[in-house]
Chain A
Amino acid sequence: MKRRNIFRSYNAVLGLVFLVFLAFGVSSVIVMIRSDGFVPIGEILDRQQTDAILFNSPLSSPYNHKITLHKKRAAKIVAIGSSRSMQFREKAFSESFTNLGGVISDIGYSELFIHKMIKEHKPEIIIWAVDYQDFFEAPRPGRPWRIEDDHNIFAPLGLAGNGVFEWKSYWKLLLNGEVIENFPIKLMGLSAKVEGNGFDEDGSMYYFGTSYDSLGEGGIVYTDSREKLYQSILETTIQGDRINTPRPWALESFKSIIDYAESENVIIIPVLVPSAPMVMEIMDEGPETFRLGLDQLREQLPRLSPYFADFVDPREYGSDECEFLDGYHGGEVTYLRIVLGLSDMPGSPLKPYVRRDLIKRLIKEYENEVQITEGEIGSQFKNARRIQFSPTCGDI
Chain B
Amino acid sequence: MLFNSLEFLLIFLPVTFFGFLMAVRHSRVLGLGWLVCASLFFYGWWNPVYVWLIIGSMVVNYCLGWALCRQRSVYVLSAGVGLNLATLGYYKYIGLFSETLNQLADAQMGFQDVVLPLAISFFTFQQISYLVDAYNGKVDVSHWVEYALFVTFFPQLIAGPIVRHSEIMPQFLKGRLGPREKDIAIGVSVFAVGLFKKVVIADTLATYASPIFGVAAKGVEITFLDSWGGVLAYSLQIYFDFSGYSDMAIGLGRLFGFRLPINFFSPYKSLNIIEFWRRWHITLSRFLKEYLYYPLGGNQGGHTRQFASIMIVMLLGGLWHGAGWGFLLWGGMHGVFIVVNHAWQNLVRTMGWQPGRWLGLWHVLSFSLTFLCITVAWVLFRADNLDAAMNIYRGMAGLDGRFVLPATYENLLSPIVSSLGLTFVRFDAIMYFEGMRQVGYLAAILFVALILPNTQEWMSRWRACLEPIPIPRGTFTRMLLWRPSMVHLLVVVTILFVAASQMFEPTEFLYFQF
Contacts and interface: CB of A to CB of B under 8 A. Distances in A.
Interface string B180-201: 0110110010000000000000
B6 interface: yes
A308 interface: no
Given A6-B484, A162-B504, A242-B428, A139 B220 contact: yes
B110 interface: no
Given A138-B215, A141-B218, A11 B10 contact: no
A242 B428 CA distance: 6
Contact of A249 (B210, B218, B484, B485): B218
B214 A154 contact: no
A28 B218 CA distance: 38
Contacts of A341: none
The secondary-structure label for the interface of chain B is: helix
B505 interface: yes
B428 A238 contact: yes
Contacts of B484: 3, 6-7, 10
Interface in A146-203: 152-154, 157-159, 161-162
A8 B183 CA distance: 11
Given A153-B7, A162-B504, A139 B214 contact: yes
B185 A141 contact: no
Interface residues of A, number: 34
A13 interface: yes
B431 A141 contact: no
A141 B210 contact: yes
A101 interface: no
B6 A154 contact: yes
Nearest to B384: A141
Interface in B258-282: none
B369 interface: no
Interface residues of B, number: 35
B10 A13 contact: no
B71 to A, nearest CB: 47
Contacts of B505: 158, 162
Given A11-B184, A14-B185, A244-B428, A161 B504 contact: yes
A142 B212 CA distance: 11
B220 A157 contact: no
Nearest to B428: A243
B7 A154 contact: yes
A157 B6 contact: yes
Contacts of B210: 141-142
Contacts of A8: 181
Interface hub of B181, B184, B493 (most chain A Cβ within 10 A):
B181
A108 B218 contact: yes
B217 interface: yes
Contact of B496 (A3, A17, A154, A243): A17
Contacts of A28: 6
B211 A140 contact: yes
Interface hub of A10, A162, A249 (most chain B Cβ within 10 A):
A10
Contact of B217 (A21, A22, A25, A141): A141
A14 B492 contact: yes
Contacts of B220: 138-139, 249
Contacts of B185: 7, 10-11, 14
A317 interface: no
Contact of A157 (B14, B184, B429, B504): B504
Interface hub of B14, B210, B217, B218 (most chain A Cβ within 10 A):
B218
A386 B489 CA distance: 59
Given A10-B484, A10-B489, A108-B218, A141 B181 contact: no
Interface string A206-229: 000000000000000000000000
Given A139-B215, A158-B505, A4 B181 contact: yes
A145 interface: no
Contact of A154 (B218, B497, B504): B504
Interface string A240-252: 0011100001000
A238 B428 CA distance: 7
Contact of A18 (B14, B182, B218, B429): B14
Contacts of B91: none
B273 to A, nearest CB: 30
A244 B426 CA distance: 12
B347 interface: no
Contacts of A244: 428
B424 interface: no
A141 B214 contact: yes
Nearest to B214: A141
Interface in B464-514: 484-485, 489, 492-493, 496-497, 500-501, 504-505
Contact of B6 (A3, A6, A25, A162): A25
Interface string B26-45: 00000000000000000000
B211 A138 contact: yes
B213 interface: yes
B256 to A, nearest CB: 14
A18 B184 CA distance: 13
Interface in B1-51: 6-7, 9-11, 14
Nearest to B216: A141
14 contacts: A6-B485, A7-B181, A14-B188, A14-B492, A17-B493, A17-B496, A17-B497, A21-B10, A25-B6, A142-B214, A157-B504, A162-B504, A249-B219, A249-B220
Shortest 3 CB-CB distances between A and B: which pairs?
A141-B214, A158-B504, A138-B431
Given A11-B181, A159-B504, A161-B501, 12 more contacts: A14-B185, A14-B489, A17-B497, A18-B14, A22-B10, A28-B6, A139-B218, A140-B211, A141-B210, A158-B505, A242-B428, A249-B218
Interface of B: 6-7, 9-11, 14, 181-182, 184-185, 188, 210-211, 213-215, 217-220, 428-429, 431-432, 484-485, 489, 492-493, 496-497, 500-501, 504-505
